[in-house]
Amino acid sequence: MDLNGLSVFVTGGGSGLGAATARLMAAKGAKVACFDLNKDNAEKVAKEIGGIGIGGDVSSEADAKAALDAAEKAHGVPRVLVNCAGIGNAITTVNKNGAFPLDAFKKIIDVNLIGSFNMLRLAAERMSKQEPVGEERGVVINTASVAAFDGQVGQAAYSASKGGIVGMTLPIARDLARDGVRVVTIAPGLFLT
């Protein structure tokens, strides 16, 4: 898909992989919306690349819909969604403080897995109603991690969340193939942005 002039939506676009992705997409001519829990960071990156910055939580249906609405108003329906938003923690299953706090585990799953699915489902619905660009109506790129396959000590929640992203990719790709929406997942290791 030629990105020139297309609307691209990047979650976690205020820092790290998301910011680097937003910059790359803009360099290829895309009109980019940066969505991040840290609105100031999202706006800073967006200003740098001539896009828009939006604050909000990927795991919130209301925030996600409002962000997609803002991106659509500014640049048209996003044809590319790159899910980079993610968080981690380093807590062992049992440690000197006791058992892994369930709320800490749930938070990682909410942001990384549920947040990715939330954004994907809402963006894909919009993409599926558009005219094709070439052979497809849109592309979703999810970010898992090598930890999905080889998690380390203290990465139970992170690995579970990223493994969930890997596990949902193929069924969702099959679901959305009939609509011309391609779904892929990358699984990076450690990197510098």
**Structural contact between residues 160 and 109, judged by C-beta atoms closer than 8 angstroms:** yes
- Tokens of residue 57, six digits: 């939580």
Of 54, 111, 158, 162, the active-site residue reads 158
**Structural contact between residues 187 and 149, judged by C-beta atoms closer than 8 angstroms:** yes
**Structural contact between residues 33 and 52, judged by C-beta atoms closer than 8 angstroms:** yes
DSSP state letters, 135-152: TBSEEEEEE--GGGTS--
Catalytic: 156? no
Residue type, 69: D
Q: Which residues are catalytic?
A: 158
